[in-house]
Chains A and B, each alone.
Chain A
Amino acid sequence: MTSPTPVPGQLASYWEFILENFSQLVVATLEHAEIITISIALAVPIGVGLGVLITFDERLATVVIWLAGVMMTIPSIAMFGLLIPFVGIGAEPVIVALVLYSQLPVIRNTYVGLTDIDPAALEAGRAMGMTRVQLLRKVQIPKALPVIMAGVRNSVVILIGIAAIGAFIGAGGLGTFIFDGIARANVPMIVVATIILSVLALAFDYAFKVSEQVFRLKNGEQIEPSRLTRLIQRVRA
């Protein structure tokens, strides 16, 4: 079987596809963003909570981070397959899987952000009469925020890709177009959906990068801020 090749001459068929399916594409993109948003909204409190918890016990930290790491190595198709008997099909198993997949970057970055701190600063804080909670709130968390943000950013990018595969078990979103496109050998469908998906990933990545940079600048770190970050700084000032 030879496959069709997208050449400039076929550009018209891409336009046609976009115009014909515009509203469905918008809906699929929104669905995709919705699944990601729900998953991240669930995943971040769990991951940050666990990350904070394991700062109290080093052995627990090793175990939890190892488990989260194992979770992440499970192939997404296999993970969906493992979840279907228990959660069924549709968006639910995909969201469960996404929450599980996002744990490693969030937990580990929270843990590292909170513990990778100048021990002298911690001692000074304690000696100045900060309580354990004040130390966390005033010293550790502000210092850890950009690192946690980097973990969330990392998660989100991974999740957008996995959520696309989730379309296969009925979660909806942009993956639906890609799978349909492959099944029907509809090249414009594959290419357009793939491009939107990639742009979505890049957009989320950029948004989180900017928020990470805002936190870093707030902590007085010397970084080269992106254009949007600089704009936000200027608006805030």
Chain B
Amino acid sequence: MKRYLTLWLGAILMFVAVQAQADLTIEITRGSDRATPIAIVPFASEGNLSLPEDVAQVISDDLKRSGQFEPLARDSLISRPTRSEDVNYRDWRAVDSDYLVVGEVAQEGGGYRVQYELLDVYGERRMIGEYITSNTEQLRRTAHYISDKIYEAITGVRGAFSTKIAYVTSQGSGDNIRYGLYVADADGRNSQEILSSNQPILSPAWSPDGSKLAYVSFETERPAIYIQELGSSRRVRATSFPGLNSAPAWSPDGRKLAMSLSKDGQPEIYVMDIANRSFQRLTNNSAIDTEPSWSPDGSKLVFTSDRSGGPQLYRYDIASGQAERITFTGNYNARGRYSPDGESMFLVHRSGNGYQIAKQDLETDRLVTLTDSRWDESPSVAPNGSMVIFATQQGNSGVLGAVSADGNASFRLPAAQGDVREPAWSPFLN
């Protein structure tokens, strides 16, 4: 037991984020024609402060990215009020804007005081408003926070703009290939390197409290599952059995890790109790069983198995110990991920034209394809269920893409160089 503590590798110096950055940019590829028009007026600043961030622009980009909002272009704003009492609602109805956001940034202490208000143009009322203090580094985070509040006030669904994404990069080829594990803001900015290796890294998975990442690294030239604390960079090797150590997935209570291990011959699903390191084997057959995903209530696990020939999704019920096949459309369905409400699965589906991200309703079993390129994989769902981030190809490079859960809106997050893949969307962090 004590030994496990010593297993926490003193990796702080080696693995602490160096200057390495792999920020991603956003390119909207498809907007929704049902998007709600909203006007976000540039925030006023006293005395022409030179601000490190254009707060209104960050909010506008956030809301546009969701596919649910269509922010008005700045040059079509007819006036630039900064407080609700200065607003003439009739002006904003004239430009068909359903909502209006106004605000200002003032210097306070060493940082800023940001004030915003969200207004209902047709109801002619102030919906929400707030003062937020922020230091210089936090100004962008404050903007994401405001986006979250606006999103929730209008849609009734919690915003996920303040969340993060983890992803894997690779650069170079052959023996000079370099793999990196990064964590960045949900908009691809502020990337930080978590791990770097000349051996493959894959399958990052967030703990439910957002404080740790589990992942597979080949740094010893054998695959092993590691759990790394993001704050301290301390980490522990969770498994390093002979054969595959693959596809870690945290239970919703954060106490267990489901995974695929082939120590007994072929890949089987196991559940590891993280505290006492005991293992429970859930599957037992000669097929491949991998890619487990917990249901939000922790009572079931969906996994990929080729026991019927090609890969299909199966649902294992923990109480009964029984697994049933749940996908029947097409001959390749893999890497299922539950939606946060537990009512649908996002998965990789092979069609006549390659691999796309699809969504299957677990009530009706209806499967709908959400994406349209040929190499889409690794879906990971935003904690509010509104979007799915995935890996795809652009030219000869791996890039991340995202699509709204209804398939109506999508964007891409290309990197400046190298390949990006294996995205994992964090849980809510605040």
Q: A and B bound?
A: no
Seen from chain B, the residues whose Cβ lies within 8 Å of a Cβ on chain A are none
Q: CB within 8 Å of B: which residues of A?
A: none
